[in-house]
Chain A
Amino acid sequence: ARLPRSAVLKKILDSVKDLVKETNWDCNEEGMSMQALDTGRIVLVEVMLREAAFESYACEVPMTLGIDMEPFGKVLRCAGGDEKVTIKASRNDQDHIELVFENEEKERMSAFELKLMDIDGEHMAVPDAEWGAEISMPSSEFKKIVMDLAEIGSDLTIAVSKLGVTFTAQGNNCKGSMVLQPSTAVDKKSEQVAISFTEPLEMTFAAPYMKMITKAAALSSTVTLSLDEACPICVRYEMEDNAGHIKYYLAPKED
């Protein structure tokens, strides 16, 4: 599997490493995907890198690659963001993978081996949901709102109504809320705020977890929040050019 830029892998690693230390990557002809739970089983993260994300991709037999994020991060730090990455996994020797970074400009090539782990991964069946509300907005704006409000209080409430979407945090000494209304005068789709809902709803989530979830803003200019009463929120970042997505499910806080 050859990616045109290592930056994609670096961003994916950044988006999951606070939640997950080791995870199985499933490789098949459609691409590479992973699903993992954080140790507290509060957040589920799913990553899909489709064949379209790669400059070239071939997977003759489905394989599971057990990756330890820490050494993987060390290896990836050796790659320039605009260097090509080739990942090679051999079906005859499933003990390790090879990573080759190529810098075409400097005619430099570097090669690494990463030992694979035997991970007893837990998989969760996520049912298809009929969401009560969906909000799409610029991922940078969502990130700023979450980062700012997480400083105010550890509970982040998201309310959707005719007024728009309201994000609220309450701390011991202060309380803050931010309201976003659907944008009408913005041309660029990536800058638009779109809100749809069937019934008004209000749900509360742990702000520190939500902060971790906003790391994926580096992977996509937009984010979609899908909510339903008394259900985990789904926060989805779609990568450009059908390259894939990263999705997080975060369980709510309740009385």
Chain B
Amino acid sequence: GLAQRGLSTFFRLI
């Protein structure tokens, strides 16, 4: 199945 990715892999936490 497909895995849910997290937003932190795309956007930087500041």
Contact = CB atoms under 8 A, between A and B. Distances in A.
Interface of A: 37, 40-44, 122-127, 155, 204, 206, 231-232, 249, 251-255
A254 B11 contact: no
A206 B11 contact: no
B7 A124 contact: yes
B14 A123 contact: yes
Contacts of B8: 41
A177 B12 CA distance: 34
Interface string B1-14: 01111111111111
B11 A252 contact: no
5 contacts: A42-B6, A44-B7, A125-B13, A127-B11, A254-B3
Contact of A123 (B3, B6, B7, B13): B13
B5 A249 contact: no
Contact of A251 (B10, B12, B13, B14): B10
Interface of B: 2-14
Contacts of A40: 6
B9 to A, nearest CB: 7
B2 A249 contact: no
Contacts of A254: 2-3, 5
Contacts of A41: 6-8
A253 B2 contact: yes
Contacts of A126: 11
A8 B3 CA distance: 36
Contacts of A231: 10
A42 B10 CA distance: 11
B11 to A, nearest CB: 4
Contact of B14 (A42, A125, A252): A125
A125 B5 contact: no
Q: 5 closest A-B pairs (Cβ-Cβ)?
A: A253-B2, A124-B11, A41-B6, A125-B12, A251-B5
Contacts of A124: 7, 11-14
A126 B12 CA distance: 7
Contacts of A251: 4-7, 9-10
Contacts of B2: 155, 204, 253-255
A252 B2 CA distance: 9
Contacts of B9: 251
A43 B8 CA distance: 10
A175 to B, nearest CB: 15
